[in-house]
Amino acid sequence: MKEFIDLRSDTVTKPTPAMRKAMTDAEVGDDVFGEDPTVNALQEKVARMLGKEASIFVPSGTMANQLAIKSHTQPGDEVIIETTSHPYNFEGGASAALSGIQFNCLQGIRGILEPSQIEEAIRPDDHHFPVTRLVCLENTHNRGGGSIYPIERIAEISRLARSKGLLVHLDGARLWNASVATGIKPHEYAQWADSVSVCLSKGLGAPVGSLVAGSRTFIERVHRFRKMFGGGMRQVGIIAAAGIYALDHHIERLKEDHQKAKHLALGLHEIQGVSIDPECVETNIVIFDIAEMGMTATQVRDEMKKKGVLIHPFGRTQIRLVTHLDVSKEDIETALKAFREVLRPS
Ligand code: TLP
């Protein structure tokens, strides 16, 4: 039996025995020389899946986003992004430090922006203003509770951006979840973006790894900055193999994670004082509020831990739960039972 049911993130999964076998068997070479056949195969595969000319393997989703921002912008440029987005909130201020850009943050609904908001935010061509260069979108949206960017909305934003000479970057750390939930292929989403970052180490269950995809010239630029950021890795086919395995075997099963998240949301909804709309749970992330209960998220975290369930406070009274391949349906029942015991209005 496992020590903890870990609902803090879908990043906590451990490689399955079959994935480990693929890693052991991987052919490797020095990827800084471009000689790792497994990395090359992964990069070609992801470029194909996203309908882009090329893609490049990097250690993390953070590096993937930051390389895209760096490669698209000049210091002093402005990047339009949603207020609760990952690059703005959870990447250590990297875009300011590494790219010298400033963000223009717009408030979305569950992370989703309206094209009209973006249109209004684009700076006029006047030397007083920063140059608006890039629009960043996130699908699914983490802080938005795993919300799915409707493809029509992405298309509208992209058409607007292109008509104004702006570039679009899509943070697709969980694009696979959006794709499985909607039946819309990753390349259909990706066609609307100049660059896309994707992660293998979230719902797909690989231990490490993300990629950035785009045109060949863009990826050449990213390659240069990857070296500069210290992201060039050597015999890294050993982890790229886990990524290939994950793409071949762990995409369709994301459906199960979405069902588990919905089940969690419905169970939480029945607890008096929990604020959650189960309708809003579209993928594998559940965010709920306990402001009415007179408890804080950290108190709940500590009580839940005593009952063997790990959860992630997301603000003073908000809690995030994420389902993944290392939590079973039974684990969800156990977690709900623990929540029913801990979440009692004071
Ligand atoms: N998100 C992590 C934490 O940083 C919050 C998580 O547990 O969800 N884009 C999105 C949308 C993400 O959710 C994350 C990771 C990243 C990028 C960064 O990926 P890593 O952690 O590989 O740098």
- What is the DSSP secondary-structure string of 135-189? EEEESSBTTTTSBPPPHHHHHHHHHHHHHTT-EEEEEETTHHHHHHHH---HHHH
Percent helix, strand, coil in the chain (nearest 5)? 45, 15, 40
82 band by pLDDT with thresholds 50, 70 and 90: very high
Share of the chain above pLDDT 90, in %: 98
Q: How many CB atoms lie within 10 A of CB 71?
A: 25
Q: Which two tokens stand for residue 280?
A: 């809003």
Give dist(CA 326, CA 331) in Å, integer: 9
What residues are paired with 108 via a beta bridge? Answer: none
Pocket of ligand 1 (CB under 6 A): 9, 11, 60-62, 65, 86, 90, 138, 142, 171, 173, 199, 201, 210
The ligand 1 atom nearest the CA atom of 285: 8
pLDDT digits 0-9 by tens, 40-81: 999 999 999 999 999 999 999 999 999 999 999 999 999 999
pLDDT band (50, 70, 90) for residue 296: very high
Q: What tokens appear for 38 in the block? A: 């497994």
User: Over 70: is that where the pLDDT of 346 sits?
Assistant: no
User: Which of the pair, 293 or 11, is modelled with greater confidence?
Assistant: 11
* Ligand 1 geometric centre to CA of 271 (Å): 29
Residue nearest to atom 3 of ligand 1 (CA): 90
The reported pLDDT for the residue numbered 156 is 98
- In angstroms, rounded to a whole number, what is the distance separating the alpha carbons of residues 108 and 117? 9
Sort residue 247 into left (φ over 0), alpha (ψ -120 to 50) or beta: alpha
User: Looking only at Cα atoms, what is the longest distance across the chain?
Assistant: 64
Asked if 275 and 281 touch (Cβ cutoff 8 Å), the reply is no
- Output the CA–CA distances (angstroms, integers) from residue 198 to 184, 204, 272, 332, in the order listed: 16, 11, 38, 27
Question: Which residue has its alpha carbon closest to ligand 1 atom 8?
Answer: 9
Residue with tokens 């950290």: 298
- 23 Cβ partners below 8 Å, 6+ apart? 15, 238, 239, 241, 242, 245
Which of these, 149, 161, 150, lies nearest to 79 by C-alpha position?
A: 161
Q: How far is the CA of 124 from the centre of ligand 1 (A)?
A: 33
* pLDDT, position 2: 80
Structure letter (DSSP) for residue 57: E
Burial label for 163, CB within 10 Å (0-12, 13-18, 19+), is exposed
* Two structure tokens written together for 66: 């930051």
- Specify burial of residue 218 (Cβ count, 10 A radius: 0-12, 13-18, 19+): buried
Q: How confident is the model at residue 185 (pLDDT cuts 50, 70, 90)?
A: very high
- When the pLDDT of each residue in the chain is averaged and rounded to a whole number, the result is 97
Q: Pick the closest to residue 121 from 156, 158, 78, 152 (CA basis).
A: 78
Gap from CA of 173 to ligand 1 centroid (Å): 7
Strands (E) located in the chain:
5-6, 54-58, 78-82, 102-106, 132-138, 167-172, 195-199, 210-214, 285-289, 309-310, 312-313, 318-322
**What is the best residue among 89, 110, 141, 142 to mutate for testing ligand 1's pocket, by most ligand atoms within 8 Å of CB?**
142
pTM: 0.97
The CA-atom distances, in angstroms, between 116 and each of 39, 120, 160 are 41, 6, 9
pLDDT > 90? residue 220? yes
Q: Give per-residue pLDDT as tens, 111-168.
A: 999 999 999 999 999 999 999 999 999 999 999 999 999 999 999 999 999 999 999 9
Instruction: Provide the edge-to-edge strand list for the sheet that holds 102-106.
Output: 54-58, 210-214, 195-199, 167-172, 132-138, 78-82, 102-106
Assess whether pLDDT exceeds 80 at residue 345. no
